[in-house]
Amino acid sequence: MGLTIFAFLAPPILLGLWARARTRIRDTAWSRYFLAIGIGFSVFTLSLGVAYLAAQPYTLEQPLALFFTRLAAASAAAGYIVLFRVCLSFPYETRNRIADLAAAAAVLGVLALTLGTPLYVSHVERVNLDFLRQEGPLYGAISTGAAALGFLGAAVLLFRSLAMRSRIFQQQGLILALGIAASIVLGYVTAIRLPQVGRIGSLYLVSTLSPVVVAVGFFYAVSTSRIFAWKEVARRLVSYLILAILAGTPVGVAVSVFLMVKAFPLISFLGAFFSFILGARIASAFVNRFLDSIAGRKRYREDLQSSLAHVDLAGGRDAVLKEVHGILSGPLGFSDFTVLAEDDEGELRPVYSTTGTSLSIRGDSAALGTLTERGITVLLKTDVIANRSYASVKKELLEIYDSLRAEAMIVVREGRETLGIFALGARLSGGDYTSYDYETFRAVYGKLFVVLYYVKNIARESILSTVDREIAFSSQVIESIQENVDRIAHPKADAHFIARSTRKLGGDFIDFVGLGRDRFFFVVGDVSGKGLNASMSMLILKTMVRNFLKEEKDFLRIAERANSFIKENLPKGTFFAGVFGYFDFAKDSLYFINCGIPVMQMYSPAFNTVIEIQGDGRVLGFVRDIRPYLKLRRVPLVKGSALLISTDGILESESLRGERYGKERLQRSFTANREGPAKELAEGLLRDLLAFTDNRMEDDVTIFTLKYDTNVRSEA
């Protein structure tokens, strides 16, 4: 009786799969067909469950059970009729009114013959777990005919798929055909073979899961728009098989031995439990040691990330892009490669191309606008062809692909501005880019962002020929960061900051974003490293934090996502020591998350002293799951208070005698300079530091000061 739950769980699964697929196939024939199939099979499973529960043993008149048995058969047959109609044209959305009318007529005919006459079944009853039916003359025709129609449709679709030129359409057709065939086999085994031949009537209602198999196949057929990495799937399956044999078998034997010790339940439980734990540890170690190289292409992705992180940006634009071309084409195996970058007029024009294309894309292009709205950064040609949600811009996107002779594009954006596009040509092997390649492109996006930013803003011959390349790059990076800062302008706040970089190279940065009249978000910190690499990492992180701020409502999630981005996209070993916070002047409050900021001091007029407020914090970039270590703190802002935030450069600066500046000197300087406006306070702190170090700076220094609800104001 408990297995009737499958009959009632199937409908929400069927309709849920349709709802998920609808985001991609809205307003298409496939959405309507999917819904019709989902409704038909939902009625089948519900009716079968009701009929099974309503049936009684040794009772002649059972109208309720009889009606729902007939309804189940009719709705299942209707579902397979619609599936057959789908197989005639899928995945092409071609109109065929004759086929639609023929399918509708067949459905109505089956309903009339099954529900209105005893031709299908004339009597049903349930004896123990066996569901017995007195068959009518059309029982075999309807039951076998529906299954045969499904198999015929799957066969037609299989042969049609093999003849398709598009590999993604081939894959979609094969997935649907496989889903239909697997569904029929499951239904036959559980509804006919086991109950009638194997005398296992208890599994009869498992047959209500067969429509779910069809729906899963249909879902993946209409929603998958990337080629599966079949070799990787096979390797993964082989690795799991090896793991099951080498680790699963001994663990299973050990657990079974302990479970046989019934006289001592505690020994039985603890033995089985520790066997599982030990087996899991051994299996994990085995996977990390041996199977990773078999199961996937992890090494290829990591090598690609490492190579892109070490691109020599001092070689000039053409040399840089040629090096990037070589790095990408090695493991991916393509020859055609084009890079488009935004010019001063906002159009994307080729700056490097092996095809000689002269294509230019307007900044207000509908295709680019669609990608921006959806946040798309990686787009394969198979996505455009097979993902029906791109229908409105499909023609324009395919024209771009054809002009660039491309099969994959990586669209680099800063906020809503498209900086450029990397267009990768067809693979020399003739294969398509797979879902694994897609994930790889997403993984190296941060590295390509750096290259594109360099190409767009830095690599100009007029600059490179007159100024040292590293200095030119970092100078423009620092300037770009400062230009994008929303200055804090509020009647209650007087704020100022100083960002001083040694040789104009480094990882310190500060950013402010206005969130309304009374609220300002800020981030202050230091990205590890020196020179050019630190400047690049700083720029990327600053851009990504702004993007996270637009997407997240949970303040902790911004720091959490920043940690993940540093861990997954920036060079290995990169970390960020800083603070994320926001001022809410309406509530006279400062909220912040300490992520390793070394200096957060506040002058309190109530105590007439300077106190440290940062507490403990965890640097970002070391731990994969940083959430447990993030703490949101609130500090009240009172009239006359003053705030100081600084990176570690000010503390670690040394005098000619090798003495460190340290927190005590900083606190004394803070106390001595706090009476003036925020600008004078910041400049006084820097002036005292330079006097201590004899005007030498060995590390970047960032200082932020804020005077709250004060009469003294800094100059605009």
How is residue 227 annotated by DSSP?
B
Q: How far apart are CA 378 and CA 384, in angstroms?
A: 11
Stretch 267-284: mean pLDDT, rounded?
Answer: 73
**Which of residues 642 and 463 earns the better pLDDT score?**
642
- pLDDT tens, position by position, 82-120: 999 999 888 887 778 888 888 889 888 888 888 878 888
Which residues have a Cβ under 8 Å from the Cβ of 454 and sit 6 or more positions away?
313, 317, 320, 473
pLDDT for residue 467: 39
* Superfamily (CATH) of domain 4-223: Rhodopsin 7-helix transmembrane proteins (1.20.1070.10)
Residue 280 vs residue 348, higher pLDDT? 348
For 601-619, the pLDDT digits (tens) are 999 888 888 899 888 888 9
Q: Has residue 297 got a pLDDT over 50? A: no
Q: 653 near 660, Cβ under 8 Å? A: yes
What pLDDT, in 10s, does the model give residues 219-258?
A: 988 888 877 766 666 666 676 677 777 777 777 777 777 7
Output the average pLDDT for the chain. 81
Residue 519: the pLDDT is: 92
> Domain 314-458, what architecture?
2-Layer Sandwich (3.30)
- Residue 483's pLDDT is 56
| Residues of the chain by 3-state class (helix, strand, coil), percent to 5 | 55, 15, 25
Higher pLDDT, 482 or 38: 38
CA distances, 117 to each of 72, 105, 126, 139, 635 (Å): 14, 18, 21, 12, 78
Decide if pLDDT at 317 tops 70: yes
Q: Does residue 527 carry a pLDDT above 50?
A: yes
Asked if 497 and 487 count as a contact pair (C-beta separation under 8 A), the reply is no
pLDDT class for 495, splitting at 50, 70, 90?
very high
pTM of the model: 0.61
Lowest mean pLDDT among 356-370, 469-483, 617-631, 642-656: 469-483
Residue 84's pLDDT is what? 92
pLDDT score at 607: 82
Q: How many C-beta atoms surround the C-beta of residue 656 within 10 A?
A: 9
Q: How many angstroms separate the Cα of 451 from the Cα of each of 258, 307, 377, 531, 533?
A: 59, 12, 15, 16, 12
Under the banding of pLDDT at 50, 70 and 90, the label for residue 295 is very low
- Reduced to 3 states, what is the DSSP secondary structure of residue 378? strand
The confidence score (pLDDT) of residue 49 equals 83
| More confident: 597 or 617 | 597
Q: Please give the Cα distance from 506 to 527 (Å, whole number).
A: 8
- The residue ranking higher by pLDDT, 250 or 149, is 149
The tokens describing 177, both together, are 């055909």
Query: Which is more confidently placed, 532 or 408?
Result: 408
pLDDT in tens, 677-704: 999 999 999 999 999 988 887 778 899 9
Nearest by Cα to 678 from 634, 638, 711, 637? 711
Query: Which residues on adjacent β-strands are paired with residue 635?
Result: 590
pLDDT at 462 over 50: no
Write the Ramachandran bin of 45: left for phi over 0, alpha for psi from -120 to 50, otherwise beta.
alpha
pLDDT higher than 60, residue 349: yes
Q: Over pLDDT 70: what percentage of the chain?
A: 86
What pLDDT sits at residue 458?
Answer: 57
pLDDT tens-digit readout, 533-583: 677 777 778 878 887 887 788 888 899 989 988 887 777 778 889 999 999
Q: Specify the pLDDT at position 487.
A: 83
Give pLDDT, residue 479: 54
CB 341, CB 351: distance < 8 Å:
yes
Rounded CA separation 346/679 (Å): 37
Q: Which of 61-65, 162-166, 467-471, 645-649 has the lowest mean pLDDT?
A: 467-471
Q: Look up the CATH number of domain 474-708.
A: 3.60.40.10
Res 303: pLDDT = 79
Query: Which residue from 395, 365, 401 is spatially nearest to 381, judged by alpha carbons?
Result: 401
